[in-house]
Structure 1
């Protein structure tokens, strides 16, 4: 399929899907990076319509989430700057106030992923820190990245575990989930890009974090360019979105001169493999599938990361 045709079909399929808060956010982010600004504003409007009393944007029935809703923050900020409508500014400020002052955190100030358990998940790398940085709190964004890493990084495996229970001081899920490591890599990329020039030390540290997770994950890239759902478990299903997420991170990092071209072949093989998974309707097949994310299927985040990957691929 022609690349432009694939992008259009994947976009069309994505816009036809039902979306929870983080799915709305990553969809709007994909539209932003494609330059589809009208879609960004429309999606931001609906995220504001569905903002709850706590300040969380785009809420449906996923009311347990702490950080997921913040994925809408960057699109809402963009909509405010593009339109000047104070409604967007108020909504972004409420989301920010929730993260800074009301969201449940560990004793060291690191955001929990859910309201009902004192748990830190690798997913949160992508959801909250990029918005914090874009909203004028880059120090807090870096603090959260450092905190997530301190709890979830498995030094022996050079990858991230999925879930840490801060109350039990133990992993709920120690598996090196592919999409989770993709959330981490992509989230770190978005934070680095948002840091001011004055934070050079922090930028270099985060680039180091990005290099180490890429190195750890690439060990497990299959010959077909894809990865298993649990990266180091070949009995887990072969999954598509990890490749898209890591390719997005690598293409960005090469474009920004954070890493060298030695990563390019791996990223291009990921991209080629993902493109073979786009079916006649534009659905990216074989991603960690909604709604349970426990088997291969389709999902808005899988559609969105195909578009994010394509927006920076070369």
Structure 2
């Protein structure tokens, strides 16, 4: 029997009193330039200089659910490599967005930014990172340990041991992991198998690693790998991607969470490519990523919703229940792309994501858990999962940060 549906109004956060968006970094610099021209006092100029160089604090928004309690559940429930990496990424976006690729200037002087190892995201994931192994943690999957790769590189700005660990992880993926018949990097170490999940594990890390190594060609290879995955997982009949193709765990269904993994993974690759001075002129690669992301969103939008207003666990199968994990992450993709390219991702994408976000808000309990989710360890389980999916909870944080940034950019409304 299904557990009762949660509709806790008390889970909704109080709207922030800060209704206006904070001034951009560019605006603050231009203001400083004006003050210099107008011969303001030294004290005023120093104050403006400090303001221009300080991190931009994004105004909070009321997304219809309690993002802090959702994040706390992700932290307390995560127990696998991909869950640790996914949760760390979500915490970084939530608390230190300036360090994430979604910040205004994530690569100062074209380099990885210095990060305080004591911020919540890094302090949380640090104990899970193996510093002396071939990969960042022991795992039968090729990509899952790499979900912690961006965190390792940020930790490496204060402790080079983590840079060395990231080096070994990248070398393993690029040169030692099995390759599929078309050259795509396998998600599994023991067989040649492609999972949509790996789009959010290996490739955002490898794109970030390309910045670390100042390697434009490495960035191009990441985009090529995304295309190789698409060549296998997408078929002409559908806009969305199949979940797994390979000899061990094949799943030809259009798993909503898998499409979320693929979409958000490519979103992170796209933002990394665009924000880094060494690759922002790769217009052909940008265009490909945007097109592939749009296919996934368009397919999800055509798939409809079930009675709770959620996307089905398998988008192309009306027999499946609606669930929160895929709905949250695909909605985050829509908000990120509405900010990235409003012409290509116009208002209808925001409207679709808004409807999903409101439906998700009604599914959060007073304990922060958002339900029902798909069983995170058994995606074909017909029983709705009420125990708090670590990845699903992290996706709610991704959804919040994407919506918050969209509102702060003046593109979405709160």
Same topology, TM > 0.5: yes
Q: Distance in 1 between matches of 2:205 and 2:233?
A: 21
Which residue does the alignment assign to 2:324? 240
User: Structure 1: which 4+ aligned runs deviate by more than 3 Å?
Assistant: none
Runs of 5+ consecutive residues of structure 1 not aligned to the other structure:
none
Q: Is the 8 A contact 1:120 1:163 kept in 2?
A: yes
SS at 1:236 equivalent? coil
Matched residue pairs, number? 304
Farther-moved stretch of structure 1 (195-204 vs 104-113): 104-113
Q: Is it true that 1:3 corresponds to 2:13 in the alignment? A: yes
Runs of 5+ consecutive residues of structure 2 not aligned to the other structure:
1-10, 15-64, 97-117, 211-217, 274-278, 408-414
Q: 1:296 to 1:28 in 2, by over 3 A?
A: same
Q: Distance in 1 between matches of 2:221 and 2:84?
A: 24
Please identify which structure carries the higher strand content. Answer: 1
Which residue does the alignment assign to 2:240? 159
Cα deviation for residue 52 of structure 1 reads 6.7
Cα deviation for residue 175 of structure 1 reads 0.7
Q: Which of 362, 374, 383 in structure 2 is aligned with 1:288?
A: 374
Which residue does the alignment assign to 1:189? 267
Q: Distance in 2 between matches of 1:11 and 1:53?
A: 29
Q: Distance in 1 between matches of 2:198 and 2:288?
A: 19
Which residue does the alignment assign to 2:293? 210
Q: Is it true that 1:54 corresponds to 2:134 in the alignment? A: yes
Q: Is the 8 A contact 1:228 1:238 kept in 2?
A: yes
SS at 1:30 equivalent? helix
Q: Is the 8 A contact 2:69 2:368 kept in 1?
A: yes
Q: Is it true that 1:179 corresponds to 2:189 in the alignment? A: no
Farther-moved stretch of structure 1 (210-219 vs 223-232): 223-232
SS at 2:129 equivalent? helix
Which residue does the alignment assign to 2:401? 311
Q: Which of 120, 126, 133 in structure 1 is aligned with 2:194?
A: 120
Q: Distance in 2 between matches of 1:155 and 1:213?
A: 13
Q: Is the 8 A contact 1:129 1:140 kept in 2?
A: no
Q: Distance in 2 between matches of 1:248 and 1:86?
A: 33
Give the TM-score normalised by structure 1: 0.91
Q: 1:301 to 1:220 in 2, by over 3 A?
A: same
Q: Distance in 2 between matches of 1:296 and 1:77?
A: 37
Q: Distance in 1 between matches of 2:226 and 2:219?
A: 11
Q: Is the 8 A contact 1:23 1:300 kept in 2?
A: yes
Cα deviation for residue 2 of structure 1 reads 2.1
SS at 2:194 equivalent? strand
Q: Is the 8 A contact 2:74 2:393 kept in 1?
A: yes
Q: Is the 8 A contact 2:310 2:322 kept in 1?
A: yes
Q: How does 1:7-26 map to 2 (within 5 A)?
A: 7-26=67-86
The structure whose Rg is larger is 2
Q: Distance in 2 between matches of 1:133 and 1:146?
A: 14
Give the TM-score normalised by structure 2: 0.70
